[in-house]
């Protein structure tokens, strides 16, 4: 298909969509969610040799990309999503594209500085610090499929060429005879050929391409990871002076986006069988490394004993001390600990020490505990003859299969813990302070 025919098909599809306007906002949202999912997944996966779901999974398991770059996919996904959000705000505000904008978007994409292994044309490997939003200071290049080395713009010329690109874009955007496809393809290719940053150039080039399209009422183009060889082939043909195949390639992807938008506008299903897989991978990549596989222990006698000794006992001992600070206000203070078992019966204790002794002697039976409640009763307020001068509070513990919950009797605050870790003393102190303040508030109210 020639570029002329491609543009004609694009215009025809756009006219069909325009005939369906106004499209309800909820349908537009559904269509854009689909585009965002595909754009986020494919634009990130197409970088760093992440060609398939299997390769992505391997990177997640081993922690390094094929090029040796430490895995930071969750940051890349978050950064790319923020950049898309920023792009949409940018379009709505009708802002002017500037050098500052390009640097800001690169900073959003890369999120934070990182170390990257770089191999020069002679095969020498060095480690370079990549600073987001900063132009490259050393030359960069790519080895083509034919084995040739293609060098991008020399670092010393980057600023001038970016300035020239922005001037051309402003001029092109005011030319009514130039179709948006031509302008979008041109800014994509020219930006890639400059390669102004040490990383994130491909993602940013596709964002600039979609800036042009979306600003002119078209949906975003998604270059799919499985189509990466055709994408690179079209770029290489442009490098050799034949620009038409690249325009046609981008045009074919725009046709696919328009067809998706048309189906969505008609109320048809636009989901793909692989969409669930994409979302699973995106969510997995967004989970911070420090939180991955954080839940390791399942409820059992040994882990419950660890939880009682390292969290619950210290909490109850400190809470008991807090309660007895109010002995000047009440005639009687009672403490009761009640264990609820799965079989339906209960066991109660009237002081913390006897409860601790029982737990320490019954490790094997601890996994039969469903829940536990700590109750404090403060009776007979000494300084008022008002009725209702008793105060009761409780702390509830529920033991689930993979975590436990601590909740106040009113259900106002909840703490969730894991069986192989302990709640920090600082947090235990905060819980006791909150419970003590509840008693103090009662005392203040009844004393008025």
Asked about 74 being catalytic, the answer comes back as: no
Is the previous residue joined to 22 through a cis bond, with omega within 30 degrees of 0? Answer: yes
143 is in an annotated binding site: yes
201 is in an annotated binding site: yes
Q: CB–CB of 48/66 below 8 Å? A: yes
Task: Give the list of residues 6+ apart from residue 355 with CB closer than 8 angstroms, or none.
Answer: 316, 337, 349
202 is in an annotated binding site: yes
- In terms of DSSP bridges, do strands 330-341 and 404-408 run parallel, antiparallel, or are they unpaired? unpaired
222 is in an annotated binding site: no
CA distance 142 to 152: 8
Q: Would you call 435 exposed, middle or buried from its count of C-beta atoms within 10 A (0-12, 13-18, 19+)?
A: buried
Nearest to 289 by CA among 49, 61, 67: 61
Q: Supply the DSSP string of 236-267, one letter for each residue.
A: HHHHTT--HHHHHHHHHHHHHHHHHHHHHHTT
142 is in an annotated binding site: yes
**b/e map 249-281, b = 16+ CB within 10 Å:** bbbbbbbbbbbbbbebbeeeebeeeeeeebeeb
206 is in an annotated binding site: yes
65 is in an annotated binding site: no
Residue with tokens 């402003």: 170
134 is in an annotated binding site: no
145 is in an annotated binding site: yes
Cβ-based neighbour number of residue 328 at 10 Å: 8
148 is in an annotated binding site: yes
* Catalytic residue (one of 36, 195, 331, 391): 195
CA distance 78 to 109: 8
147 is in an annotated binding site: yes
CA distance 446 to 443: 5
260 is in an annotated binding site: no
Cβ-based neighbour number of residue 197 at 10 Å: 24
79 is in an annotated binding site: no
CA distance 141 to 315: 60
Q: CB–CB of 249/242 below 8 Å? A: no
Cα separations in angstroms, 3 against 16, 17, 258:
20, 21, 16
322 is in an annotated binding site: no
Residue 134: both structure tokens together = 């900063």
186 is in an annotated binding site: no
Kindly state the helix (H) or strand (E) to which residue 336 belongs, with its residue range. Answer: strand 330-341
Nearest to 81 by CA among 253, 285, 292: 285
Q: Give the annotated binding-site residues for ATP.
A: 142-150, 199-206
* Residues flagged as binding site: 142-150, 199-206
Question: Which of the residues are catalytic?
Answer: 195
């Amino acid at each position: 298909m020639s570029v002329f025919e491609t543009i004609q098909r694009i215009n025809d599809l756009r006219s069909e969509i325009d005939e369906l306007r106004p499209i309800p906002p909820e349908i537009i949202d559904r269509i854009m969610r689909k585009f965002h999912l595909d754009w986020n997944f494919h634009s990130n996966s197409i970088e760093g040799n992440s060609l398939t779901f299997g390769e992505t999974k391997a990177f997640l398991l081993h922690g390094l990309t094929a090029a040796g770059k430490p895995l930071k996919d969750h940051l890349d996904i978050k950064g790319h999503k923020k950049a898309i959000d920023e792009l949409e705000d940018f379009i709505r505000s009708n802002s002017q594209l500037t050098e500052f904008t390009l640097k800001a978007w690169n900073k959003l994409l890369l999120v934070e500085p990182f170390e990257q292994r770089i191999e020069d044309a002679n095969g020498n490997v060095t480690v370079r610090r990549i600073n987001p939003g900063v132009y490259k200071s050393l030359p960069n290049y790519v080895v083509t499929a034919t084995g040739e080395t293609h060098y991008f713009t020399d670092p010393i010329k980057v600023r001038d060429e970016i300035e020239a690109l922005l001037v051309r874009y402003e001029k092109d955007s005011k030319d009514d005879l130039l179709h948006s496809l031509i302008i979008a393809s041109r800014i994509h290719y020219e930006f890639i050929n400059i390669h102004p940053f040490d990383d994130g150039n491909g993602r940013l080039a596709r964002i600039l391409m979609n800036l042009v399209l979306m600003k002119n009422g078209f949906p975003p183009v998604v270059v799919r990871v499985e189509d990466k060889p055709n994408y690179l082939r079209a770029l290489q043909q442009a490098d050799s002076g034949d620009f038409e195949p690249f325009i046609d390639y981008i045009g074919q992807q725009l046709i696919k986006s328009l067809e998706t938008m048309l189906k969505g506008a008609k109320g048809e299903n636009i989901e793909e069988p692989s969409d669930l897989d994409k979302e699973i991978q995106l969510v997995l990549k967004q989970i911070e490394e420090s939180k991955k596989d954080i839940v390791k222990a399942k409820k059992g006698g040994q882990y419950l004993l660890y939880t009682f000794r390292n969290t619950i006992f210290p909490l109850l001992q400190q809470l008991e001390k807090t309660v007895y600070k109010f002995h000047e206000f009440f005639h009687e203070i009672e403490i009761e600990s009640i264990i609820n078992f799965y079989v339906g019966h209960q066991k109660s204790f009237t002081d913390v020490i006897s409860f601790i002794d029982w737990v320490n002697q019954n490790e094997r039976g601890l996994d039969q505990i469903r829940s536990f409640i700590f109750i404090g009763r403060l009776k007979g307020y000494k300084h008022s003859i008002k009725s209702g001068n008793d105060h009761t509070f409780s702390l509830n513990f529920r033991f689930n299969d993979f975590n436990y919950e601590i909740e106040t009797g009113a259900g106002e605050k909840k703490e969730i813990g894991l069986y192989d870790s302990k709640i920090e003393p600082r947090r235990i102190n905060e819980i006791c302070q909150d419970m003590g303040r509840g008693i103090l508030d009662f005392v203040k109210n009844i004393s008025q």
